[in-house]
């Protein structure tokens, strides 16, 4: 009889422990973030506007193409990926390049994500990729060629009656090179982006 009571008590303790674990795990799994994969392309080609800080604005011509994949979280009105806040999110790029000519100058930049790249895509169709790394070269009007490297921000903006792609480049670590390249849909041959998102189970 004593053995049976001990067995029943042990069984009850086991059941209570399992029930407690079940109750604890339910809110955790309910709050677990859902992740999404996002394939993206930002592409602009043709006439652009080149702004050089401290120098002025010039008409230019060239192309930028950024393509890649992001592992992102979803918020109410946007998707985001930023590894410092969530190391499960990440951004990759593939064969991303910008080449622009203006005022007898030329800039060529190869672009890739850094450890702090921020990727945002909202319900309005705007796509921003910030804190990218780049390296390349700049040839100025006197044909002097210099190696450049630093950080770049790229965005596709879908405003009313206007779509444009903007690329902002800073050279580091001194940050004495400061350019903003903008392609407008009514002036360039092509200004487009595509984003395809699907849930990761």
Cα–Cα distance between 45 and 134 in angstroms, integer?
19
| Dihedral angle computed from the Cα positions of residues 75, 38, 121 and 157, in that order, rounded to the nearest 10 degrees | -170
Cα–Cα distance between 191 and 64 in angstroms, integer?
10
Indicate if the pLDDT at residue 199 is higher than 80: yes
Confidence (pLDDT) at 174: 56
Task: Report residue 173's pLDDT band, with 50, 70 and 90 as the boundaries.
Answer: low
Map out the domains of the chain as residue ranges: 1-32, 35-199
pLDDT in tens, 89-145: 999 999 899 999 999 999 999 999 999 999 999 999 999 999 999 999 999 878 889
Sign of CA dihedral 81, 85, 87, 88: negative
Q: Look-up: residue for tokens 């850094």?
A: 114
> What's the residue count for the chain?
201
Task: Report residue 28's pLDDT band, with 50, 70 and 90 as the boundaries.
Answer: very low
pLDDT in tens, 174-196: 556 789 999 999 899 889 999 99
The residues with which 113 forms a beta bridge, in sequence order, are 132
Average pLDDT across the chain, whole number? 84
What is the pLDDT averaged over residues 155-168? 87
Task: Report residue 33's pLDDT band, with 50, 70 and 90 as the boundaries.
Answer: low
What is the pLDDT averaged over residues 49-67? 94
Q: Look-up: residue for tokens 């796509």?
A: 127
The residues with which 37 forms a beta bridge, in sequence order, are 71, 198
DSSP 24: H
Indicate if the pLDDT at residue 18 is higher than 50: no
What is the pLDDT averaged over residues 136-161? 88
In contact, 85 and 71? CB cutoff 8 Å: no
pTM assigned to the model: 0.79
> Nearest to residue 177, comparing CAs of 113, 107, 101?
107
Residues of the chain with pLDDT > 90, as a percent, come to: 62
């Amino acid at each position: 009889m004593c053995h049976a009571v001990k067995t029943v008590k042990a069984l009850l303790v086991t059941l209570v422990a399992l029930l407690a674990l079940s109750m604890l795990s339910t809110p955790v799994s309910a709050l677990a973030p859902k992740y999404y994969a996002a394939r993206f392309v930002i592409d602009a080609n043709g006439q652009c506007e080149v702004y050089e800080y401290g120098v002025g604005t010039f008409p230019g011509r060239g192309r930028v193409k950024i393509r890649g994949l992001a592992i992102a979280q979803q918020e109410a009105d946007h998707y985001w990926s930023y590894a410092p806040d969530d190391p499960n999110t990440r951004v990759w790029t593939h064969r991303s390049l910008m080449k622009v000519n203006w005022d007898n100058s030329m800039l060529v930049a190869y672009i890739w994500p850094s450890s702090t790249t921020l990727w945002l895509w909202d319900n309005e169709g705007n796509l921003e990729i910030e804190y990218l790394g780049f390296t390349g070269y700049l040839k100025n009007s006197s044909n002097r060629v210099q190696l450049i490297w630093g950080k770049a921000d790229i965005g596709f903006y879908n405003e009313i009656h206007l779509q444009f792609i903007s690329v902002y480049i800073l050279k580091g670590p001194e940050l004495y090179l400061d350019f903003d390249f903008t392609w407008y849909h009514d002036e360039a041959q092509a200004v487009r982006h595509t984003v395809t998102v699907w849930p990761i189970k």
